[in-house]
């Protein structure tokens, strides 16, 4: 029977109606507005998030001409929402994972304790300091916290269920990665009472009876977007969306610069872990070139522009628009473009932005256990020029997913209670030696981080 897979992301919500063979019967999309009230601050309206889910779901179901029998959820992680239990009304806008407002607070935190307990590093990326700031000056009685998944479960169930899954909980900096439960010492550190927190369940669990567009549908399967994509890929993957995220499922300790995180599991499976490298800005760089500078009309235009020039003319774009993530973890660093001359054109800048996604992925993989090939998914994988350049920079084959929306397929698989890999798409073999270009990138980053 079909499953409605809801993929609530940073810039929009995608919904797929998927059958048991992972065939996409219908899809819908609704864009989500980001708000930037101050430099380094990024917010969403939680009610607007919910509105995009309703709109995208309605479009997907209409296109499918088939009635789903369950809902599965995958979501942008770490984004923090606080609402009133009695009314369901958010107390403020959601603080998005990209937000940097708590950087000074993170610099004060005990890094060794947080890394040992959670597998994370003290960074504004994660939810704990966001929640701490939202609770400041408020009586926590009667308030509920959630990442986007918990907010959607609450809305779908009419407030009857306040729950999250292990993958999203593991991104809050409040959850023990060993026990997969809230950690009392960390709750005390951030002044977070247990009463505001959701129940933690395995990703493949039943999350309650929901209602959407007049349909009563069980909510089965919830996972953070990157873990959902890993579940669909099996073993190792990189997802290219607003950011870029490389995950390898393993129980090994995290090398310096990488994170340990919970991996999605079915109810009957034991807990699973993964290593993760997080790049904050990938597709978001193209969005900035479109919306901030007006250099392109859309991401699709970037492929032709990049291919129209033989190289960047020595231009490097380090897109630290919200700080640098793995393996640097420098929230204080800001973006920079170097090597500009009178001959620099918009094509060179666009190509430099695309190349940056490949270079940042190489930085992460350099700290990972070696992989023989990389499975990739996400909207940017439609850019064949970028995929070939990525294979050249990594010097290993790059294999796209047949369906770019792997996060939604991963959620659907969790909802179906099935562990298997989704179909593969095109394979790109390394063709040109890009080691010299990558060395130039490392020099550009070093100038910002030294």
CB 133 within 8 A of CB 191: no
Residue 252 lies in a domain: no
Helices 346-366 & 283-291 angle (0-180, nearest 10): 160
Residue 320 lies in a domain: yes
Two structure tokens written together for 60:
């997907």
Tens of pLDDT, residue by residue over 35-49, are 999 988 999 999 999
CB 403 within 8 A of CB 379: no
Same domain, 173 and 294: no
Q: Residues in the chain with pLDDT < 70? A: none
CB 276 within 8 A of CB 245: yes
pLDDT at residue number 412: 93
Same domain, 134 and 205: yes
Residue 119 lies in a domain: yes
Residue 230 lies in a domain: no
Residue 123 lies in a domain: yes
Same domain, 308 and 212: no
Same domain, 206 and 290: no
Same domain, 65 and 196: yes
pLDDT at residue number 243: 85
Task: Spell out the long-range contacts of 296-300 with Cβ–Cβ below 8 A and sequence spacing 24 or more.
Answer: 296/346, 296/350, 299/379, 299/380, 299/383, 300/382
CA atoms within 13 A on the CB side of 38: 6
Give the whole-angstrom CA distance, residue 70 versus residue 79.
25
Residue 167 lies in a domain: yes
Give the whole-angstrom CA distance, residue 64 versus residue 219.
19
Q: Any idea of the CA torsion for 251, 391, 308, 446, to the nearest 10 degrees?
A: 60
pLDDT at residue number 159: 95
- Which residues, in sequence order, are bridge partners of residue 143? 84
Same domain, 54 and 202: yes
Same domain, 201 and 315: no
pLDDT at residue number 423: 80
pLDDT at residue number 443: 95
CB atoms within 10 A of CB 370: 7
pLDDT at residue number 40: 87
**Domain containing residue 347: CATH number:** 3.30.420.40
- Rounded to two decimals, the pTM is 0.84
Q: Is 321 in a helix, a strand, or coil?
A: strand
What is the distance of C-alpha 150 from the center of its chain? 16
Residue 245 lies in a domain: no
pLDDT at residue number 127: 97
Same domain, 180 and 289: no
**Number of structural domains the chain divides into:** 2
Of the residues 223, 252, 273, the one at which a domain ends:
223
Give the whole-angstrom CA distance, residue 4 versus residue 57.
8
Tens of pLDDT, residue by residue over 139-185, are 999 999 999 999 999 999 999 999 999 999 999 999 999 999 999 99
Alpha helices in 299-345 (DSSP H): 301-307
Same domain, 186 and 322: no
pLDDT at residue number 138: 94
CB atoms within 10 A of CB 189: 18
DSSP-assigned letter for residue 182: B
Residue 216 lies in a domain: yes
Give the whole-angstrom CA distance, residue 34 versus residue 43.
6
Two structure tokens written together for 215:
């349909």
Residue 420: burial class (beta carbons within 10 Å; 0-12, 13-18, 19+): exposed
Same domain, 344 and 202: no
CB 393 within 8 A of CB 370: no
pLDDT at residue number 377: 87
Of the residues 171, 197, 223, the one at which a domain ends:
223
Same domain, 186 and 300: no
Largest CA distance in the chain: 62
DSSP-assigned letter for residue 31: E
pLDDT at residue number 50: 97
pLDDT at residue number 56: 97
The boundaries of the domain holding residue 8 are 3-223
CB 373 within 8 A of CB 430: no
Of the residues 223, 240, 258, the one at which a domain ends:
223
């Amino acid at each position: 029977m079909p499953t409605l897979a809801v993929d609530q992301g940073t810039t929009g919500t995608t919904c797929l109606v998927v059958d048991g063979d992972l065939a996409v019967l219908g899809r819908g999309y609704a864009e989500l507005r980001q708000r930037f009230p101050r430099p380094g601050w990024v917010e969403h309206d939680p009610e607007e998030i919910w509105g995009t889910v309703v709109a995208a779901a309605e479009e997907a179901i209409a296109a499918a001409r088939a009635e789903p029998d369950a809902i599965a959820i995958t979501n942008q992680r770490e984004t923090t929402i606080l609402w009133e239990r009695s009314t369901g009304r958010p107390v403020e806008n959601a603080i998005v994972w990209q937000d940097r407002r708590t950087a000074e607070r993170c610099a004060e935190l005990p890094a060794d304790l947080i890394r040992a307990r959670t597998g994370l590093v003290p960074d504004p990326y994660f939810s704990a300091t966001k929640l701490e700031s939202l609770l400041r000056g408020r009586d926590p009685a009667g308030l509920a916290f959630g990442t986007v998944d918990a907010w959607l479960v609450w809305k779908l169930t009419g407030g009857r269920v306040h729950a999250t899954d292990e993958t999203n909980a593991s991104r809050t900096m409040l959850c023990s990665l060993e026990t997969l439960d809230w950690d009392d010492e960390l709750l005390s550190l951030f002044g977070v009472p247990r009463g505001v927190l959701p129940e933690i369940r395995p990703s493949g669990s039943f999350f309650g009876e929901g209602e959407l567009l007049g349909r009563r549908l069980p909510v089965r399967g919830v996972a953070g977007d990157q873990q959902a994509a890993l579940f669909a890929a099996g073993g190792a993957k990189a997802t290219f969306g607003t950011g870029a995220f490389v995950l390898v499922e393993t129980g090994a300790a995290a090398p310096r610069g990488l994170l340990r995180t919970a991996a999605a599991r079915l109810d009957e499976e034991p807990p699973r872990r993964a290593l993760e490298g997080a790049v904050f800005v990938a597709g978001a760089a193209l969005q900035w070139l479109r919306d901030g500078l007006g250099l392109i009309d859309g991401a699709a235009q970037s492929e032709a522009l990049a291919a129209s020039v033989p190289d960047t003319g020595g231009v490097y774009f380090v897109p630290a628009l919200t700080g640098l993530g793995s393996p640097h973890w420098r929230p204080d660093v800001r973006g920079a473009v170097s090597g500009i001359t009178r001959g620099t054109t918009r094509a060179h800048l666009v190509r430099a932005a695309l190349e940056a996604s490949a270079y940042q992925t190489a930085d992460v993989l350099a700290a990972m256990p070696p992989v023989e090939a990389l499975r990739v998914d996400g909207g940017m994988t439609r850019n064949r020029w970028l995929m070939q350049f990525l294979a050249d920079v990594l010097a290993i084959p790059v294999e796209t997913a047949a369906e770019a929306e792997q996060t939604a397929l991963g959620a659907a698989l969790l909802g179906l209670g099935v562990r298997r890999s989704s179909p593969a798409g095109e394979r790109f073999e390394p063709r040109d030696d890009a080691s010299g270009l990558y060395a130039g990138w490392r020099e550009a980053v070093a100038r910002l981080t030294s």
